[in-house]
Amino acid sequence: MTPPDLVVADAAVPGRDGRWTLVCAAGQVLELSPHDPAARFPEARVIEAKGQLLLPAMTDAHTHLREPGQEWKEDIASGLAAAAGGGFSNILCMANTDPVNDNESVTRLMLRRASEAWPHGPRLFPVGALTMGLAGKQLAPMEELLAAGCVAFSNDGEPVADTELFRHALEYAADLAPVIDHCEDPYMAKGAGANEGVMSARLGLRGQPDVAEALQVARDILLAEYLNAPVHLAHVSCRRAVELIADAKRRGAPVTAETCPHYLTMTDAALFGYDTMAKVNPPLRTDDDRLALIQALREGVIDILATDHAPHAAHEKETPFEDAKNGITGLDTALGSLWELVRLGQLSAEDIAQRFAWRPAEIFRLPHCRFAPGDPADFCLFDPEQSWVVTPETLRSKGKNTPLLGQSLTGRVTLTAVNGHVVYELARAGA
Partner 1 sequence: MNWPHKDLLDVSQLSREDVDVVMRTAASFREINARPVKKVPTLKGKSVVLFFAEPSTRTKTSFDIAGKRLSADTFGLAKSGSSLQKGETLKDTVLTLQAMNPDAIVMRHSSSGAADFVARRVSCAVINAGDGWHAHPTQALLDLFTLREVWGDDLVGKTVTILGDVAHSRVARSNIRLLTMLGVTVRLCAPRTLLPKDARALGAKVFHELEPALDSADAVMCLRLQLERQEAGLLPDLREYARRFCLTKARLKNAAPDVKVLHPGPINRGVEIASDLADAGNSLILDQVASGVAVRMAILYLHITRKEKGETA
- Decide if residue 391 touches partner 1 (CB under 8 A): no
Applying CB under 8 A, does 268 fall inside the site for partner 1? no
Between 303 and 322, how does the x/- string for binding to partner 1 read (CB under 8 A)? ------------x--xxxxx
Known binding residue 168? Answer is no
| Residue 312 counted as an annotated binding residue | yes
- Pick one of 68, 159, 197, 411: the residue that binds partner 1 (CB under 8 A): 197
Q: What does each C-alpha distance from 137 to 22, 159, 224, 349 come to in angstroms?
A: 50, 11, 20, 43
- Options 45, 112, 202, 365; binder of partner 1; rule CB under 8 A: 202
Q: How far apart are CA 275 and CA 268, in angstroms?
A: 10
Any catalytic annotation for residue 308?
yes
The answer to whether the annotation marks 338 as part of a ligand binding site is no
235 is in an annotated binding site: yes
Number of residues that bind partner 1 (CB under 8 A): 20
Q: Which is nearer to partner 1, 271 or 417 (by Cβ)?
A: 271
Is 191 a binder of partner 1 (CB under 8 A)? no
Sites for partner 1 among residues 321-340 (CB under 8 A): 321-323
Q: Which entry of 10, 102, 308, 383 is annotated as an active-site residue? A: 308
| DSSP-based helix, strand, coil % in the chain, nearest 5 | 35, 25, 45
Residue type, 203: L
Any contact of residue 201 with partner 1 (CB under 8 A)?
A: yes
> Which distant-in-sequence residues (6+ apart) come within 8 Å of 360 by Cβ?
58, 59, 60, 61, 90, 258, 303, 304, 305, 306, 366
Q: Cα 224–220–189 angle (5° rounding)?
A: 170
**Residue 188 interacts with partner 1 (CB under 8 A)?**
no
Q: Does residue 269 bind partner 1 (CB under 8 A)?
A: no
Please state, in angstroms and rounded to a whole number, the distance separating the CA atoms of residues 58 and 426. 17
Q: How far is the CB of 201 from partner 1 (least distance, A)?
A: 4
Closest CA to 177 of 154, 157, 207: 154
Our finding on whether 90 is near partner 1 (CB under 8 A) is: no
Phi, psi at 12, each rounded to 5°:
-85, 145
* Binding map of partner 1 across residues 272-291, x = CB under 8 A, - = no contact: -xx-----------------
Using only C-alpha atoms, the chain has a radius of gyration, in whole angstroms, of 21
**CB-CB neighbours of 340 under 10 Å:** 16
Contact between 205 and partner 1 per CB under 8 A? yes
- Which residues are at the interface with partner 1 (CB under 8 A)? 196-198, 200-205, 207, 209, 273-274, 315, 318-323
- Name the residues annotated as catalytic: 308
